[in-house]
């Protein structure tokens, strides 16, 4: 996992020009596929960079080597019936990232196995951002194999999304950091909006994580914060992310989050 995270971080640092996920791994290695599943949508972050800035790696389609590799990872490690919410969201995030960042030419894109506990996909034809918004909470997902209704436009408009509104700030921050890979632009707009509504709580969570020396959580929360509006200047987020990266002792996942935060800014400060 460290190798993959390092590869992605290096690609983000250098603009992603020659990035190829398939070049980082042995294709049939189940451990490598597990690493992809754990890192989630972040393994395709350099492609998102390409979309956002017009640069990035040379275009690959979902049928290319990277797309096939991600598909294998999704098929090898689908969330089971007793899987955690985070696992399901991460699964769907990776599937959506494949559709979004490695678009297939003229076909429906990802067609791997669906998770046992839900996560069926809505009809094709919707923008990928809208398609993911329904899965903000697993309660929104219907039974296995059935299509899910799209989430209301409001990010925290249903009872199923209650954790975004009601979770205590330490828990919110922990979960937000677990879902940091979904902070890629356009991937989970409803989740981003829901978290943006709790910017102050995330800022408290960032400080808490730093004080607990939980660098991975701090970097993950920082990734959402760079996208959030009205982040207080007193937080010192930019310097804080540099500090977190240095203090992590070269943890590749922390470096990945820190570089992704730098590469995909948004929101603003006050």
Partner 1 sequence: MATELTAPVETALAVEVEGLLDSAEPEGIYRDTRECGGGLLLAGLLLISPPTPRPTKTDAR
Residues that bind partner 1 (CB under 8 A): 1, 30-31, 34, 37-38, 40, 77, 79-80, 83-87, 90, 170, 174, 178, 208, 211-214, 217
Residues 6+ apart with CB under 8 A from 238: none
Residues 6+ apart with CB under 8 A from 70: 21, 36, 43, 44, 94, 97, 98, 102
Given the complex with partner 1, which of 121 and 178 has the nearer CB atom? 178
CB of 268 to partner 1, least distance (A): 27
Distance CA 169, CA 204 (A): 7
Given the complex with partner 1, which of 41 and 193 has the nearer CB atom? 41
Given the complex with partner 1, which of 55 and 168 has the nearer CB atom? 168
Given the complex with partner 1, which of 5 and 12 has the nearer CB atom? 5
Report the candidate in 87, 97, 94 with the shortest Cα–Cα distance to residue 117. Answer: 87
Region of residue 232 (left: phi > 0; alpha: psi -120 to 50; beta: else) = beta
CB of 18 to partner 1, least distance (A): 28
CB of 232 to partner 1, least distance (A): 16
Given the complex with partner 1, which of 165 and 208 has the nearer CB atom? 208
CB of 213 to partner 1, least distance (A): 7
Given the complex with partner 1, which of 80 and 149 has the nearer CB atom? 80
Q: Do the Cβ atoms of 215 and 160 come closer than 8 Å?
A: no
Distance CA 9, CA 259 (A): 6
Q: Do the Cβ atoms of 117 and 138 come closer than 8 Å?
A: yes
Residues 6+ apart with CB under 8 A from 242: 258
CB of 255 to partner 1, least distance (A): 17
CB of 212 to partner 1, least distance (A): 4
Distance CA 219, CA 69 (A): 27
Given the complex with partner 1, which of 211 and 270 has the nearer CB atom? 211
Bridge partner residues of 269 (DSSP)? 231
Distances (CA, A) of 193 to 55, 73, 199, 229: 27, 29, 10, 10
CB of 68 to partner 1, least distance (A): 19
């Amino acid at each position: 996992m460290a190798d993959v995270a390092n590869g992605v971080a290096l690609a983000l640092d250098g603009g992603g020009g020659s990035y190829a996920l398939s070049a980082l791994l042995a294709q049939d290695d189940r451990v490598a596929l597990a690493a992809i599943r754990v890192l989630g949508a972040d393994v395709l972050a350099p492609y998102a960079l390409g979309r956002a800035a017009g640069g990035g790696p040379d275009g690959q389609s979902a049928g290319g080597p990277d797309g096939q590799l991600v598909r294998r990872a999704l098929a090898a490690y689908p969330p089971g019936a007793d899987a955690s919410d985070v696992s399901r969201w991460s699964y769907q995030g990776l599937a959506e990232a494949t559709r979004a960042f490695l678009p297939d030419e003229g076909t429906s894109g990802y067609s791997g196995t669906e998770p046992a506990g839900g996560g069926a996909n809505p009809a094709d034809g919707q923008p990928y951002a809208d398609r993911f918004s329904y899965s903000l909470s697993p309660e929104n997902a219907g039974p296995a194999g059935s299509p899910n209704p799209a989430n209301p436009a409001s990010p925290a408009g249903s009872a199923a999304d209650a954790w975004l509104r009601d979770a205590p700030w330490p828990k919110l921050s922990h979960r937000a950091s677990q879902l940091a890979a979904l902070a890629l632009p356009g991937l989970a707009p409803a989740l981003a909006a829901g978290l943006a509504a709790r910017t102050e709580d995330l800022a408290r969570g960032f400080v808490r994580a730093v004080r607990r020396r939980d660098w991975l959580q701090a970097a993950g929360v920082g990734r959402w914060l760079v996208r959030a509006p009205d982040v207080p200047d007193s937080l010192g987020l930019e310097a804080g992310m540099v500090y977190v990266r240095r203090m992590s002792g070269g943890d590749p996942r922390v470096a990945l989050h820190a570089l992704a935060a730098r590469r995909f800014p948004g929101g603003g400060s006050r």
